[in-house]
Structures are given as C-alpha cells and as structure tokens.
Amino acid sequence: MFCFIIGKGKQVEALNILAAGFLRGGLGFLKSSAAGEMIKGSGHVNREIRVGVTHAYVEYVKCMGGLWLERNIPVFLNHVLNLVGSPKATPTHVDAVYARKCVLFILRSTIGALLGEKAQIAAAKEISQIIIKQMNAVGEAVMESNDGKFQASEVSASQHVLVCALHELGSLVQRLGSSASPLVAEPAAGIIEPVVSVLIHPSHAARLAASWCLGSIAVALPSQLSPLLDRCMERMEKLKNSPEAISGYSSALAALLGGVYQCPLGIPHVKGKV
C-alpha cells in the first residue's frame, strides 16, 4: 500500500495519484499499464476502476492511522470533496451519482469510523466551512448571471460537493448525538447557518441534502427542532416569491416534521396547527 512506499512529506503525492485514478487519468496514473488503458476505456470499466480507487483511499487512510487523519482533516476533506467537484468525475448524471456514492463511502469509512468524538466535531466544523466556501462561489456565479455571465458549471460543480458535504455532516451529527451541542452553541460560528443557506441553492439535490441534514440535527439535538421549524416557516413566508426558497424551506419543514417521532418530547401542540 502507498503508506509503505512513500516517505514523510509525500502523503499529498500519494493522494494526487489516487485522485488521478479516480478522475480517469492524468498525472501519469498507471500510464503504460493495462489498468491505465481500462481507465481510459468504456464508462462501465471506468466506474469499476473508480470503485477500486475508492477502496484504495479507505485502505490508505486506515494504513496511515486515525492520528494522521486527525492532523490532516482539512487537507483530506478538501481533497476528497474536490474529487466530486471536478467535471471529469461528473460528465453525466449517472456518473455524478456514482461519484457521490464513492465519495460518501470514503468519508463514512474514514471520518465517520476512525476519528474520536473531539476530532469528529472538528471535522464537522471544517465541513461547515467548506459549505460556506461553496455557497459564496454560487453567490458570485448568480451575481454574474445578473450581468449576463451565468456560470452553469460553477453551480453544477457546487451541488455535488454540497450533497456529499451535507450528508457527511448530518451523519456526523447523528453519530455524535447530544455531544454535537458545541456545533450549535454559537449561532455565528455554528453549523446551522451554513446548512440553512443551502436551502436556496439553485440545485434541487443540494436543497434536499440540506433539508435532510437539518432533520438530522433536529433529531440529534431535539432542542433545535422548534426553533428550526419557526425559522423555516418565517423564511418561507418572507421569500415566497422565490421558487428555490419555497422548495428548499418546504423540504426542510417536511424533514423536520418527519423527525418529530424520534424526538422524545415532540413539538408544542400549537406548531401542528400552524
């Protein structure tokens, strides 16, 4: 495995080799081998290679160890999420879904399995920063669209990154349970604001992922359920002229209400009437 053949300081090179395989070529990945030809072959073989590289990522991180992962959370998260943000990984809808599944498997098998509670909280905070960065990029693209320079590729790439980031964030919060309270203790620096911001993303997939993530937060931290319901209803009323906002906030309401049965105290009776 890579960790046995590289020296200290070469980890990034190893990750880049894996990324080259995941994205079907580049950086001379297995250039002269039969496997290299398979990577450049048909879509079916490409997906098989992608699954193999996905497992190689997981084994590489396991070999490096949880301590290495803890020290390199920002680098690893950005590297893996950038895979699904590359146009080479998502040329078609089927390829995009396949790539997202692979990236989610990598994240669940590493961040979700090898880190302790404190490190998982740090990973959740890092993911929220990635979400903020993606939404800022989308905001700039939308602003440019108002000037007639709409960048569809920017929005398309962001949706795949956001879907994976939000699913991993929701899974981390579910795993942490009540221990995730530090992630919402400070509203300005917490995870709720970044997740809510995705509810008005142009992509329906990103909005649904944000809705699911909010539902996961509410189930893990029941004290957040009522405030989130109030917030979504208020914002939906205020942004009723925006189709994206109506879609996003109504999906979030559905996710929050769907999680009520998992919350011991439920919600106040008057909420149901509203």
Q: Could you tell me if 218 and 240 lie in one domain?
A: yes
* Backbone phi and psi for residue 11, each to the nearest 5 degrees, phi listed first: -60, -40
Check residue 273 and give its pLDDT. 52
Q: Could you tell me if 169 and 213 lie in one domain?
A: yes
Q: How many domains does the chain have?
A: 2
**274, part of any domain:** no
pLDDT means per 10 residues, the chain with 274 residues, are 53 86 62 48 63 94 94 95 92 91 96 94 96 90 62 80 97 94 85 95 95 96 92 92 94 92 70 54
* Backbone phi and psi for residue 251, each to the nearest 5 degrees, phi listed first: -65, -40
Helix-helix angle 117-146:73-85, to 10 degrees: 40
**3, part of any domain:** no
Which among 225, 171, 168, 162 has a CA at the least distance from the CA of 198?
162
Check residue 44 and give its pLDDT. 42
Q: Could you tell me if 136 and 96 lie in one domain?
A: no
pTM of the model: 0.86
Report the 10 Å Cβ neighbour count for 250: 16
Domain enclosing residue 63, as ranges: 9-25+47-115
Integer angstrom CA distances of residue 116 from 70, 79, 238: 9, 21, 41
Check residue 33 and give its pLDDT. 46
Integer angstrom CA distances of residue 35 from 25, 41, 67, 175, 262: 10, 10, 32, 38, 48
**32, part of any domain:** no
Check residue 35 and give its pLDDT. 47
Q: Could you tell me if 89 and 137 lie in one domain?
A: no
